[in-house]
Structures are given as structure tokens and as C-alpha cells.
Amino acid sequence: MGSRWGFLIRFLGAVWLLGLGHCEQQTPETAAQRCFCQVSGYLDDCTCDVETIDKFNNYRLFPRLQRLLESDYFRYYKVNLKRPCPFWNDISQCGRRDCAVKPCQFDEVPDGIKSASYKYSEEANNLSEECEQAEQLGAVDESLSEETQKAVLQWTKHDDSSDNFCEADDIQSPDAEYVDLLLNPERYTGYKGPDAWKIWNVIYEENCFKPQTIKRPLNPLASSQGKSKGLCVEKRAFYRLISGLHASINVHLSARYLLQDTWLEKKWGHNITEFQQRFDGILTEGEGPRRLKNLYFLYLIELKALSKVIPFFERPDFQLFTGNKVQDAENKMLLLEVLHEIKSFPLHFDENSFFAGDKKEANKLKEEFRLHFRNISRIMDCVGCFKCRLWGKLQTQGLGTALKILFSEKLIANMPESGPSFEFHLTRQEIVSLFNAFGRISTSVKELENFRNLLQNIH
């Protein structure tokens, strides 16, 4: 498993070395060209091109994925927004009302979800509430079958194992609350300036193997040159994932910007100026288009992870358990439709050419990736805007889950067709974050089409 992943990372990272290419047009560029002229055609030496991704995402996948994410199973996410920042104490909390998160009342969350943090079969879900109230999850009710007890204990150990890329919240904490993601959408909150820059500065400068080739800092606090010289392609690949995540978040904030705020109403919509400031090739000294290409890079990585994890969700005893049997069955059918649509994508990475290399080196790279990414997930507890913290934690956990899947190919392949899976397991938190995080990236790709159209009308 590790050796095959090592070559995957080297292959993906090699994309960085090939650069962005240049626009062929020598005449003065339009506003759309300055953001998108380099974001077209083939993604360097990948067999996939931007236009194919746009067409597949915007017209085939996006509508179905959004329907799935609106279902009860995926709209409720349990999160602890009160965890202290582990790195510094001087957090300036955002006092704007748009930064606030409204948690769910206890009776608003479906009973099946409240009692189903770890388990999927109806047998396990019926008794999971007692397990969650136990001081340790090992104290499993004896009325569970021996096989299910073993699975619960194995799953609990797995949640703390070295396979996880995120430091997950303690969802048993009294401070952990359910949040309705549909009622707390990701959008511009006004959280900006030194406090926000500090978060991204720490991520890029301390945890992200920042390449020396970056010409302009990604925020005003970042140095203009990367600290490390001669970074290997594996570490550049890691950087591209984080840069793609950052770009995706910036697209969301530009697409759902507070355009008007009066005592009568609030109006949210596309802020073209904000988008240009973040992605215009001239205003960002060439960095903006690269960030957008990194967003597509991230899209392909998470798309690949979802295609690999299909056997886990196809097992007959897996449920999207909320307690409503009819809706749960319908949502599982929709989930499998989405996953098989993803599998049908014509230009996935070539499996036969990706996975090769030295096993020892691959395991070392995996551990480096895991430690750096866990650190980034901890930094999310330092975000001063609670809505930004919510979506930052969800999206980093989603990307971490995607990395966990990519590292677990053999474990997924060896899962039993039915019954508990002891070697590979995803918690409900991981499932919800995985699909919602990909939903955010899918939305970003869709919004890029909208911004292209809007910018074409600017001269």
C-alpha cells in the first residue's frame, strides 16, 4: 500500500515542476482572461483537462450531489467550536453577527443521528446511545452480538490510530453540538485582516512545505520566499492540496458575499471585485491562476478517493441511518448513484502508472503528510470566526478522510462483503465531512463558470 502511494505522490507533485504555461494571446487581456486564460486545457501532464472536469461536474455530478447533501444524514454535523487554540492564547474573536453559528436544539436532530455516531447497522444503532454515555466506548452493552461488540471496539481503536490525518473533535464532549449546515452556510462574514492572515501564514509557513517558486505571498504576513530549498515533488503535492483548499474557500467567500446590509434585508451574491483581488493574474502577480489550477488538482484527488471507497458503501449492511427507514433507503440509493457517477468519470488517474516505488520511503512520506495535516487540523481551533472555524474544521477533516482512503486501498479491497469491517472503517463524522468537503469543491468549480460569465462582461 505504502509503496504504491509513494509514487502517486511523486507523480502528482511533478505537476508543479511543469509550471502553468503561458497565454498565447499577446494583446491586452480582458478581466476574464486575466483570471482564467491559464486555467484551461490539460492540467499539465495529467490526462485530464479543465473543460472535461467542468462539464462533468457542473452538468452531471453537481445536481445529484447537492440533493444528497440536503438530506438529513449529511446536513447535521457534530462539532466542538469551543476547543481552545493549542498554539497561542491571543485569539481575537469575531464579534460580527455573521460570524456566529446557530447550533441545533436537541429535538431538531433526528433520533437516529443522535444515537449513531459510530455505527451503521440497525442492531448497533439501537444500543449506541448507551455506548456513548459510557465513560469509555469499550463499555459496550452485552446485549450486542459478539461480532458487533468486537467491531465497536475495533472501530474505537481505529479512530485513535495512526491512519487518521486529522485530530478529530471529541464528539462526546459536552461542548460538542450538532449544527445544521444548510442553516449555517459558508459565506463571507467580514472576518479578515491580521487575525485571518495569521491562520494562513502559520499553515503555509510552518506546515505546508511552501515551495521557493512562489513569487508573491499568499497573505501580507507571509514571506516572499519559501524556507526550504529544493523541495521534493511529494512535498509540493502536499502544498498544492492546501493551496487548492484555500482557493476553494476564497471562491465561496467571493460567490456568497454580503452585497447589501440594511434593516430591511441582507443581500448575498457574487462580488466580482473580491474574486479579482484573489485570482486576477496581474493583481496577484501570477499567483491567482495557479491557485485555481490547484483547486482543480484538489478536485481530482478527492474525486479519486470517492471512487476508491465505493466498496465500503456498497455493503448491504451499510446504512445512512437516521431512523427513517424509507428515507434512509432512498438516500443510500442516491449515494450509490453519486458514487457510480464519480466512477464513470472518463479521466481518472491511471491506476497502473501511479503506484510504485520504495515502500520504506513511501511510509516515511505518509507519516510526514499525516503529521503535517494533523497539525493543520489543530490550527482550525485558532480561527476567530466561528462560522469560518466550522467550515474550516469540516473541510480539513474531509480532505484528511480522502487522504486516509487513498492510503487504505488494500484494506478497502480486502473488506468482507457483509458484516463488520475491522481493518477499514469510516465514522459518521468522517462520512459527513468527506462528502460535504467534496461538495464545497464541486460548488467552487460550478461557481468558476459563473465568474467566467460575469467577467466576460467587464472591459
Looking at residues 451-458, what average pLDDT do you find? 87
Enumerate the domain spans of the chain.
31-113+163-209+229-243+289-457
pLDDT for 411: 86
Q: What pLDDT score was predicted for residue 240?
A: 83
Q: pLDDT higher for 18 or 259?
A: 259
pLDDT digits (tens, 9 = 90+) for 412-450: 888 887 776 777 889 899 999 999 999 999 999 999 999
pLDDT at residue 260, as a whole number: 84
Per-residue pLDDT at 28 exceeds 60: no
Partner residues linked to 260 by β-bridges: 267
Instruction: Please state, in angstroms and rounded to a whole number, the distance separating the CA atoms of residues 24 and 30.
Output: 13
Residues with active-site annotation = 385, 388
Better-scored residue on pLDDT, 90 or 254: 254
pLDDT band at 148 (very low <50, low <70, confident <90, very high): low
Tens-digit pLDDT profile for residues 386-399: 999 999 999 999 99
Q: What integer pLDDT is reported at residue 169 of this predicted model? A: 65
Is 278 annotated in a binding site? The answer is: yes
- Is 22 known to sit in a ligand binding site? no
Q: What is the 3-state secondary structure (H, E, C) of the chain?
A: CHHHHHHHHHHHHHHHHCCCCCCCCCCCCCHHHHHHCCCCCECCCCCCEHHHHHHHHHHHHHHHHHHHHCCHHHHEEEECCCCCCCCCCCCCCCCCHHHCCCECCHHHCCHHHHCCCCCCCHHHHHHHHHHHHCCCCCCCCCCCCHHHHHHHHHHHHHHCCCCCCCCCCCCCCCCCEEEECCCCCCCCCCCCCHHHHHHHHHHHHHHCCCCCCCCCCCCCCCCCCCCCCCCCHHHHHHHHHHHHHHHHHHHHHHHCEEEEECCCCEEEECCHHHHHHHHCCCCCCCHHHHHHHHHHHHHHHHHHHHHHCHHHHHCCCCCCCCCCHHHHHHHHHHHHHHHHHHHCCCCCCCHHHHCCCCHHHHHHHHHHHHHHHHHHHHHHHHCCCHHHHHHHHHHHHHHHHHHHHHCCHHHHHCCCCCCCCCCCCCCHHHHHHHHHHHHHHHHHHHHHHHHHHHHCCCC
Own/partner pairs for 361-364, CB < 8 Å, 24+ apart? Answer: 361/6, 362/2, 362/3, 362/4, 362/5, 362/6, 362/7, 362/9, 363/2
224 annotated ligand-binding residue: no
CB-count exposure of residue 374 (10 Å: 0-12, 13-18, 19+): middle
Predicted TM-score (pTM) of this structure: 0.82
**Is 243 part of any known ligand binding site?**
yes
pLDDT for 341-385, tens place per residue? 999 998 765 544 444 456 676 677 777 778 888 888 889 999 989
